[in-house]
Amino acid sequence: MASLPSASTKPTSVQLGRIHVLKEGSHPPQNGPVVYWMFRDQRLNDNWALIHAVDQANKANVPVAIAFNLFDQFLGAKARQLGFMLKGLRQLQKSIEHTQIPFFLFQGTAEETIPKFLGECKASLLVTDFSPLRQIRKCKDEICKRVSDSVTIHEVDAHNVVPVWLASDKLEYSAKTIRGKINKLIPEYLIDFPTLQPPNKKWDDATDRFLDWDGLIAYVLRNGAEVPEIEWCEPGETAAMEVLMGNKDGFLTKRLKSYSMDRNNPLKPRALSCLSPYLHFGQISAQRCALEARSFRKHNAQAVDTFLEELIVRRELADNFCYYQPNYDAMQGAWEWARKTLMDHASDKREHTYTMEQLEKAQTADPLWNASQLEMVHYGKMHGFMRMYWAKKILEWTKGPKEALEICIYLNDKYEIDGRDPNGYVGCMWSICGVHDQGWRERPVFGKIRYMNYAGCKRKFNVDGYIAYVKRLVGEIKKRKAESPVGQKTKQPRNEQH
């Protein structure tokens, strides 16, 4: 990635390019408040959507509120993901209280709860986060239909540095085809954030907004206990900034130097940024990470450029794919050459064939694959390099590419702390369907899809060392859980996670 320019003067409001008008209201109520429906970007700081909501409220001299809807089920999220999210939201609510902006938490379907709330408070404007996932987009379409004609709805891309609809107006083939487009817009969009202004007018609803966070968290942990919490990663904005900039073990302050050299070595997980859970839940802004990284470029140019390539280009390429390809998690979403080669080899004889249950329980003949699966199941985070090998072996060991992709996405979404994310879907599609890749030498089962094997991994890193590391890691987690009294948290190993 090209070197980055210095930040320009702080803006006073959100650039128009970040905002999509989903619905233009007719004759909005003069005193109708602004509501920010938060879901993908769960933070107070560095949040363009929140900045826009407050800015619009102050210009109209009306109050502003934040609404969050807790879906009953969202793509199979369990205790691991929901516990992390809710604990972050609990901290967020406390921070928001100091801004005099009320925080409303709803449970149910957003198609029902959000329009109902807008009607009750007679809102004039709804501001929403951006997400390329079709479930959220369908939900927004339904909300647009259900709200009053007078309500305007703005969608703000606070997740990407360059808004997805400006980075490209079409489905991009690869990082190579989108990189130049993003870099061209970086000087305009990689800028510092304005200070979040306090609301001019307070919300005068006297309704008791007490939230029983402990009860709610206990409920989701109990209901999703099949995939228990992880505790090596503290949730919330403060913890996220500590991981990025902390004096003790911050990525930029202490671990950046080894990133470009060691990030693909599963035995050196601390070379990675550790930021993916926070980026997924929006507890930290990718733009903030990029702004801070830029100040370290003088002494670590290669590491910073590599990090920014992953943080901006690769992440935004994933959003581009999910935004412009409705079948982002299915065979139909692959390029024609990939679909053809996979179907040509769908009936090829497999050396091993495993069921979903065998794969989930890591019951294969490959100790390296088993280790990566166990790392994900028990630790909630598989090393990035191993994710590629893991997914490609699922293609090799199942009845066909369609089943392989379904299993890959199911396991990733169920166990990864950052599952149910465009990066996860694109990772599975890259590994199995060749998305954002090219055709390679044809071989059985894989066809022209890029091949990875055990011998290749042995040439890249100490495979036996990784297997031993995971065995030790899982053993420690199981031991701590066994020793912990019922209902008490167990401490998981720290400082070894990616």
* Domain definitions of the chain by residue range: 16-159, 160-198+237-324, 331-481
Distance CA 87, CA 277 (A): 13
Q: Is the pLDDT at 326 greater than 50, yes or no?
A: yes
CATH 1.25.40.80 for domain 160-198+237-324: yes
Tokens 């598989």 map to which residue?
382
φ, ψ of residue 304 to 5 degrees: the values are -65, -45
Identify the CA nearest to 115 among candidates 126, 131, 104, 102. Answer: 126
Identify the CA nearest to 270 among candidates 298, 302, 246, 290. Answer: 246
Q: What is the sign, positive or negative, of the torsion defined by CA atoms of 405, 410, 415, 421? A: positive
Are the beta carbons of 89 and 214 closer than 8 angstroms? no
Structure confidence by residue, pLDDT tens digits, 282-317: 999 999 999 999 999 999 999 999 999 999 999 999
Identify the CA nearest to 1 among candidates 345, 264, 304, 379. Answer: 304
Q: Which fold has domain 16-159?
A: Rossmann fold (3.40.50)
Q: Is the pLDDT at 126 greater than 70, yes or no?
A: yes
Q: Do β-strands 34-38 and 64-70 pair in parallel, antiparallel, or remain unpaired?
A: parallel
Structure confidence by residue, pLDDT tens digits, 339-389: 999 999 999 999 999 999 999 999 999 999 999 999 999 999 999 999 999
Tokens 């590629």 map to which residue?
388
496 — pLDDT class (breaks 50, 70, 90): very low
Distance CA 203, CA 207 (A): 10
Identify the CA nearest to 276 among candidates 412, 74, 432, 467. Answer: 412
Distance CA 189, CA 308 (A): 14
Model-level pTM greater than 0.75?
A: yes
Distance CA 412, CA 430 (A): 14
Q: Is the pLDDT at 492 greater than 50, yes or no?
A: no
- Higher-pLDDT residue of 14 and 490 is 14
Q: What is the sign, positive or negative, of the torsion defined by CA atoms of 245, 248, 254, 258? A: negative
Name the amino acid, one letter, at 262: D
User: Can you tell me the mean pLDDT for 464-484?
Assistant: 92
- 347 exposed, middle or buried (CB, 10 Å; 0-12, 13-18, 19+)? exposed
Interacting residues of 315 by C-beta distance below 8 A, sequence separation 6+: 160, 279, 286, 422, 423
Distance CA 288, CA 285 (A): 5
Identify the CA nearest to 62 among candidates 103, 123, 128, 148. Answer: 123
**Per the structure block, which two tokens stand in for 346?**
């769908």
Looking at residue 208, its pLDDT comes to 63
Tokens 């900039």 map to which residue?
245
Q: Which fold has domain 331-481?
A: DNA Cyclobutane Dipyrimidine Photolyase, subunit A; domain 3 (1.10.579)
CATH topology match: 16-159 vs 331-481: no
Distance CA 139, CA 108 (A): 12
Looking at residue 352, its pLDDT comes to 97
The three-state secondary structure class of 264 is coil
Q: Is the pLDDT at 495 greater than 50, yes or no?
A: no
Tokens 């209901």 map to which residue?
223
Could you give the C-alpha distances from 358 to 215, 372, 394, 407, in angstroms and in order?
Answer: 35, 14, 11, 11
Looking at residue 210, its pLDDT comes to 84
φ, ψ of residue 284 to 5 degrees: the values are -145, 150
How far does Cα 155 stand from its chain's mean position? 18
Looking at residue 76, its pLDDT comes to 65
Distance CA 448, CA 430 (A): 12
Q: What angle do CA 76, 78, 79 make, to 5 degrees?
A: 170
Q: How many residues does the chain have?
A: 498
Are the beta carbons of 48 and 158 closer than 8 angstroms? yes
Structure confidence by residue, pLDDT tens digits, 72-125: 665 567 899 999 999 999 999 999 989 999 999 999 999 999 999 999 999 999
